[in-house]
Structure 1
């Protein structure tokens, strides 16, 4: 394992990220979301993605992977009701995930890395079953980057089978620079921590404290804070500009599909923006306390 630095976590920051993970707050927030649809609600959202093969929205939850049905209601994809913790769309029809088996289905408590090549209908284990619980997964530069919450490690793999253990830290989410495979960001209780050696070591976290980050283009790094405030950085996280506040209280997930297309999940809904986060439309309802 590579050496990395660890830092004490301030009480305020620890509380902030704890609130995100438990979603204790019920503040409605402010924003420009559409009227809530009268459809069954999702709960415990852990990941969001758009499949470029069909431009379909996918929502990874505590009880399976869902997509909007014809009437907008959540529709279970495939038959799995596993707890999908880490989730990312790697490419068309190819998804990567991690998590835990649904009650009564057997298997190891930690799924390790699992993969679907049919847009989430079926899954197969790639590696680390029983060993790793990735709460964040990124696919960039032909490489899988994961934050293994069980071991507090950033782990990296080219093939999804063999892994290199890199830096150790306490984080909630990671993001990888779209133009530099060695630049990795992690959201910590002290702020956003930066690595310039592929996640082997991280500098101390810098304010603001973010719950989740997503890096779509070199000049389009998005972050959402613990109150749902959406920010954008055009300089890799050195400075941030507040764009909007996403409705629904504590955030549960954030994905920047591209520079202008942003998805966010809060305690109350799945929101989508097509104008770089300036306005959001509510796509699906959410009910429950997230992580």
Structure 2
């Protein structure tokens, strides 16, 4: 399904480049490093929550229209992951975590993301870099069901000294909503790489509206956790689209100069 959407987007961009572009349209390839901000309910504080659901990456395409020197409008299609895993460590007095991050977040589910953005140019420039402001509304469509169960018998983050008890983590993940929305705001730095190519870096924050993915479970401690655990502590984690994004984009300016040279028209 995602591949079909990308194919439609690419075909549309080609159509723009041959008919409507005239220098105002750009098409691009986007990659975003996504640090998800999840809601955590964990009274015993064994869950590792720093950095949200761990670093993940969105990837896709975008198309933008330069309405004027001040305003630009943008949309596209991306594949955006939601985390489906947890990390646990032995968080007791006298024990120190050996890593400042979990060993690995190995499971996530993808959504189709459709962004709608407005970029404002306040006429701020540093050397050859234009600094702009960005505002947007993002729509997420969950790409299939993700109901699943998981269990691990080892602490995912080692501590010093070695913990005297074993850890068992069990969890169940399910989708709460097939659609979600988030507001976005941030800034961008834009480099013009000649007459055709543009490189953009963005740092934005997102605030989600709807609880989309829920994980409930428990972790157990003790010498015999399979038959007689000493302690059982429940937890709950909810993802609603809130995240911090570092976005890298390479854009291609479409269209050719016609009769009159304007600020939006460029020659090959």
TM-score tier, shorter chain, comes to under 0.3
Which structure would you say has the larger Rg?
2
More strand by share: 2
Provide TM-score, normalisation by structure 2.
0.22
Provide TM-score, normalisation by structure 1.
0.21
- Which fold has the larger relative contact order, with Cα–Cα distance below 8 Å and residues 6 or more apart in sequence? 2
